[in-house]
A = this chain, B = another copy of it.
């Protein structure tokens, strides 16, 4: 068990995978397509790997890079007039191996192919 004396200077993880679903509140319509498109544009500019699916967007990079870009998505939408934003973020880190988010799907698909 590590001492907690120096915890406040611990570096954040060098890599992570984060999947986030961002929801604007108090907007005139129930549609979020416009906001999600803005998020995709910002991610493209960020240079990080990312992939959109129907329930969120997955991205990967260092912990600080990934969290910064999600925070910038909030800031961008606030600048566009959205007064309140809530995101759900599923973030994973691991030290046993380097695994990109696309590798995870392939690992499962290989197991399922054995069924055939």
Known: A7-B45, A56-B90. A83 touches B96 (CB 8 A): yes
State A86–B91 Cα separation when bound (angstroms): 6
Copy tally for this chain in the complex stands at 4
SS of A interface (majority): mixed
Per the 8 Å Cβ criterion, residues 73-105 of A in contact with B are 74-76, 78-80, 83-96, 101-102, 104-105
B38 and A83 form a contact (CB under 8 A): no
State A7–B74 Cα separation when bound (angstroms): 11
Residues of B with C-beta under 8 A to A115: 41
State A92–B21 Cα separation when bound (angstroms): 12
Residues of B with C-beta under 8 A to A54: 17, 19, 51, 58, 101-102, 104-105
State A29–B96 Cα separation when bound (angstroms): 10
